[in-house]
């Protein structure tokens, strides 16, 4: 006589199975830890995956895989999940679309989204082609996040002396602000607007929630549609002519938003449930 299903098996049969994969550098950050905690409180079975693990990663029975990171191993895991019919948040192609800051800038410009004029090339070539009116200038790596490697230079001479180990750089005009960046955070249909002290300005202070106007919501969703993202952030600078989009980033920390963990969990649970109903029984 066969034993009946265990409580864990029954729970998995009634709840979608959600996988969470994150690079090690994100494990101590607010996300995806907050999402994991909210899903656990909601009683949803989870599988935590290490994309860098040498051991085989099983996707069996998984309805959705949520990933935070940009490594080749994580992108490969997303690709394998999609090939196996697992829903992914964000999709592999969407994450890849915002990895390269040069390609991102070109896509924003081609879509007519307000964004800085961008030059890409070897740093010395950018310096030689620069004119006095091009300064101050923001220089950053093509691949990078969390403001890594971002520099503001005030002259051609300073640009030429800038230590730079990468073959190419992204150069954009410095856009003056009040010292704060405007962050638009998105989880599916939900949009929040947060002001944070700019790392370029070197100011300190907490993030603070501000009204997400219909225009800001429309701008955020426009960026999401352009790159195919579901969980993402849009970094903006406010100007007299309106916000200018500096970057779009997949799965940010959603700093400064109360209750965001539960909102993220609801979005992910909805995606998992939708995928379960799409699959043939």
Bridge partners of 245, per DSSP, are 236
- pLDDT over threshold 70, residue 252: yes
SS3 state at 249: strand
**Confidence category of residue 13, pLDDT binned at 50, 70, 90:** low
- pLDDT over threshold 70, residue 280: no
User: pLDDT, tens digit, for every residue of 55-81?
Assistant: 888 899 999 999 999 999 999 999 999
pTM: 0.90
Name the range with the highest mean pLDDT among 13-17, 159-163, 229-233, 272-276: 229-233
- The side-by-side arrangement of strands in the sheet containing 18-22 is 46-49, 18-22, 64-68, 87-89
Q: How far is it, in rounded angstroms, from Cα 25 to Cα 211?
A: 31
User: pLDDT, tens digit, for every residue of 129-141?
Assistant: 999 999 999 999 9
Mean pLDDT of the chain: 90
pLDDT score at 124: 94
Helices (H), 84-233: 92-97, 101-110, 123-129, 156-161, 214-227
Do 200 and 149 form a contact (C-beta atoms < 8 A)? no
pLDDT score at 4: 35
């Amino acid at each position: 006589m066969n034993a009946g299903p265990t409580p864990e098996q029954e729970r998995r049969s009634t709840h979608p199975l959600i996988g969470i994969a994150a690079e090690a550098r994100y494990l101590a950050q607010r996300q995806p830890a907050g999402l994991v905690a909210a899903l656990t409180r909601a009683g949803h079975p989870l599988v935590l995956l290490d994309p860098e693990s040498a051991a085989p990663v099983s996707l069996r029975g998984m309805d959705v895989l949520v990933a935070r990171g940009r490594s080749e191993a994580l992108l490969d895991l997303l690709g394998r999940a999609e090939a196996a019919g697992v829903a992914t948040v964000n999709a592999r192609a969407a994450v890849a679309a915002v990895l390269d800051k040069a390609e991102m800038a070109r896509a924003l410009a081609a879509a007519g989204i307000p964004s800085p004029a961008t030059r890409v090339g070897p740093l010395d070539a950018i310096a030689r082609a620069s004119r006095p009116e091009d300064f101050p200038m923001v220089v950053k790596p093509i691949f990078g996040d969390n403001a890594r490697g971002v520099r503001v230079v005030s002259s051609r001479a300073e640009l030429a002396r800038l230590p730079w180990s990468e073959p190419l750089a992204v150069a954009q005009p410095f856009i003056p602000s009040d010292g704060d960046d405007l962050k638009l955070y998105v989880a599916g249909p939900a949009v929040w607007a947060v002001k944070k002290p700019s790392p370029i300005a070197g100011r300190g202070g907490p993030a603070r929630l501000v009204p997400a106007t219909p225009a800001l919501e429309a701008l955020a969703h426009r960026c999401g549609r352009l790159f195919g993202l579901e969980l993402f952030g849009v970094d903006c600078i406010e100007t007299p002519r309106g916000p200018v989009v500096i970057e779009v980033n997949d799965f940010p920390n959603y700093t400064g938003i109360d209750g965001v963990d539960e909102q993220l969990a609801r979005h992910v649970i909805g995606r998992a449930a939708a995928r379960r109903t799409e699959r043939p029984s």
